[in-house]
């Protein structure tokens, strides 16, 4: 069936609203028009709000007719009763993964919601997630349309939001070969270790001032990734503190994740998209412009220095763009920028935020901190820093990282997928075109799967523990921080290795105290809203060196050049977060 709505809103001309209801007869190839409604406005004084009301009313009428005609034989999954017009959007709350977890306790782990006019299916348990991401993975391999991909990801030209097909497979292959394969990871391991060593020296020189660990981690991960991607660092990290540009870049990335995680009304009630009620689309366009300037400058800088030999991802992408056979899909500058944006945003923010959560949990659990330090002292000693060759010999560290990903998955709600065809899951009808959300956060805290699920307990992943044989790489569905199936996170191997190296090195190199003598049990562990799981409050710490003194002395390594970034203004991120927090209270006021 097809619902086709055309709306002309120019107030100086007549308004034409045309809604056509169509369905496809099973024994014919053509579509038959069942109903057609056309509204004409000749009164040029009609207000925009009257236009909206007419459009919504007509849309609801046709939507009801659609449901009557296409009612399936099987029931939809259970779920909360939708509100008029906005559906279940008010139920999402300021922190959607929390709200959906609470709804699942009432309605079950397989839920149906209606967000505006869009069917949304939520999976909140291991068996349900396995059905969608393993048994029916091929049917849920594409993304639904959304404003974030349209306005911030170069109109679906990136890897994350590209439709499943030849273009997506090409981008995935390029990313794997040049960034995420075992060979690529090993080839660039020295870069990660150098940047982590810089982080250690920078923390050691912080003096009496508390260090913002999350911010310093972001500088480290961004520079490590930038050296692989574009052949140079992008931030300073001198002894006096962070490069001011790093603060702005971090805020840009966090803003990107916040905006990408917003349940934008226009995505679910298309008739209201042009109003941009939340101001989300305007913010997306503004942020996209800033990122585009940053990425364009990177490409231009590479093209200026073509005579120099570069061994980085961007050089390979540019050469691939020129050498690809005519019969193959070609990469253009827009697709290259979209791919770089994916890497910078997802590759830096998720690794740094997960490591910040790991250190926070260890500070809150001093006994666990002592245990992991003992393992590190035995394997590594006190006269050198951890390197990636050590990671395979640190089982307690591996358990700590797994437990961190369980309690604090970097993406608490999976990126949305869409049903290519209708299907049946546990005797429920899943309609074609429905959006799938997997509540990764809820699954990894499910008391049916985990004993004491809210407790940070790495021992559960050690020999003799309840989940000793459980992996976090998408094969065991009780903990899937990287997703699973065809759309599993492309950078999983790199992200996991980076979090392990960072966590091990930070715990090995320092003892930790909280700012102003705050007791560990008083540490705020609240979560901030966004596509990725950020801490609501930054982790402010005093690192106390515990290894040989020479390891903390700053040397120059073979310093890569630092690129000048075209940043302009600061993000008003806190104000935006506050506005999103109270966004859904608007619906209660509106509907009363």
Full DSSP string of 157-214: TSTTTSPTTHHHHHHHHHHIIIIISHHHHHHTHHHHHHHHHHHHHHHHT-TTSPEEHH
Provide the token pair at 310. Answer: 């570069």
Provide the token pair at 246. Answer: 């790093």
Query: What is the SS3 string spanning 336-381?
Result: HHHHHHHHHHHHHHHHHHHHHHHHHHHHHCHHHHHHHHHHHHHHCC
46 φ/ψ angles, rounded to the nearest 5 degrees: -65, 135
475 φ/ψ angles, rounded to the nearest 5 degrees: -100, -25
The distance from CA 525 to its chain's CA centroid, rounded to whole angstroms, is 20
**How many Å apart are CA 557 and CA 548, to the nearest integer?**
19
**How many Å apart are CA 413 and CA 402, to the nearest integer?**
18
- Angle, CA 74 vertex, CA 68 and CA 80 arms, to 5°: 75
Q: Consult the annotation and say whether 489 binds a ligand.
A: yes
Closest to 107 in 3D by CA, of 75, 134, 135: 75
**How many Å apart are CA 437 and CA 415, to the nearest integer?**
7
Q: Are 456 and 521 in contact (CB under 8 A)?
A: no
Tell me what percent of the chain is helix, strand and coil, each rounded to the nearest 5: 50, 15, 35
Strand order in the sheet with 118-123: 110-115, 118-123, 435-438, 417-418
Q: Are 218 and 494 in contact (CB under 8 A)?
A: no
Closest to 179 in 3D by CA, of 338, 323, 339, 328: 339
**How many Å apart are CA 206 and CA 542, to the nearest integer?**
8
Can you say which residues are annotated as belonging to the binding site for heme?
Answer: 489
Can you say which residues are annotated as belonging to the binding site?
Answer: 489
């Amino acid at each position: 069936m097809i619902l086709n709505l055309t709306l002309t809103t120019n107030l100086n001309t007549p308004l034409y609203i045309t809604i056509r209801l169509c369905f496809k007869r099973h024994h014919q190839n053509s579509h038959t028009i069942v109903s057609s409604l056309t509204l004409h406005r000749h009164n040029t004084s009609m207000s925009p709000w009257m236009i909206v009301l007419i459009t919504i009313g007509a849309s609801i009428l046709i939507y009801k007719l659609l449901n009557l005609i296409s009612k399936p034989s099987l029931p939809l999954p259970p779920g909360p009763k939708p509100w008029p017009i906005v559906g279940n959007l008010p139920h999402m709350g300021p922190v959607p993964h929390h709200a959906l977890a609470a709804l699942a306790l009432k309605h079950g782990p397989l839920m149906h919601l209606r967000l505006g006019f869009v069917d949304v299916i939520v999976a909140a348990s291991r068996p349900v997630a396995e059905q969608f991401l393993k048994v029916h993975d091929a049917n849920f391999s594409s993304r639904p349309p959304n404003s974030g991909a349209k306005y911030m990801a170069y109109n679906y030209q990136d890897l994350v939001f590209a439709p499943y097909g030849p273009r997506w497979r090409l981008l995935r292959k390029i990313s794997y070969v040049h960034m995420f394969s075992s060979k690529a990871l090993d080839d660039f391991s020295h870069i990660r270790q150098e940047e982590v060593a810089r982080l250690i020296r920078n923390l050691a020189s912080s003096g009496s001032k508390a260090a913002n660990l999350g911010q310093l981690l972001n500088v480290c991960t961004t520079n490590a990734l930038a050296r692989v991607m574009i052949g140079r660092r992008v931030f300073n990290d001198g002894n006096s503190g962070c490069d001011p540009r790093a603060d702005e870049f971090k805020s840009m990335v966090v803003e990107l994740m916040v905006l990408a995680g917003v349940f934008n009304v226009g995505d679910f009630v298309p008739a209201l998209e042009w109003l941009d009620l939340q101001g989300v689309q305007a913010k997306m366009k503004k942020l996209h412009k800033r990122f585009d300037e940053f990425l364009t400058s990177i490409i231009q800088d590479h093209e200026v220095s073509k005579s120099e030999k570069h061994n980085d991802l961007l050089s390979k992408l540019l050469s691939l763009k020129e050498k690809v056979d005519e019969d193959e899909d070609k990469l253009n500058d827009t697709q290259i920028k979209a791919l770089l944006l994916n890497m910078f945003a997802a590759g830096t923010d998720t690794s740094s935020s997960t490591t910040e959560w790991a250190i926070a949990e260890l500070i809150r659990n001093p006994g666990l901190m002592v245990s992991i330090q003992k393992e590190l002292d035995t394997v590594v000693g006190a006269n050198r820093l951890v390197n990636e060759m050590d990671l395979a010999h640190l089982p307690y560290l591996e358990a700590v990282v797994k437990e961190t990903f369980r309690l604090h998955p970097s993406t608490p709600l999976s990126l949305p997928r869409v049903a290519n065809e209708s299907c049946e899951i546990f005797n429920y009808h899943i309609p074609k075109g429905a959006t799938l959300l997997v509540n990764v956060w809820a699954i990894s805290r499910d008391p049916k799967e985990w004993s004491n699920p809210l407790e940070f307990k790495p021992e559960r992943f050690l020999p003799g523990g309840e989940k000793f044989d459980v992996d976090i790489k998408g094969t065991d569905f009780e903990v899937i921080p990287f997703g699973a199936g065809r759309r599993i996170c492309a950078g999983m191997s790199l992200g996991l290795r980076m979090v392990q190296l960072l966590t091990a090195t930070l715990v090995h190199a320092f003892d930790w105290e909280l700012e102003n003598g705050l007791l560990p049990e008083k540490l705020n562990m609240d979560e901030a809203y966004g596509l990725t799981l950020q801490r609501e409050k930054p982790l402010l710490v005093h690192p106390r060196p515990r290894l040989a003194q020479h390891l903390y002395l700053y040397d120059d390594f073979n310093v890569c050049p630092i690129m000048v970034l075209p940043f302009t203004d600061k993000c008003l991120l806190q104000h935006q977060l506050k506005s999103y927090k109270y966004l859904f209270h608007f619906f209660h006021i509106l509907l009363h």
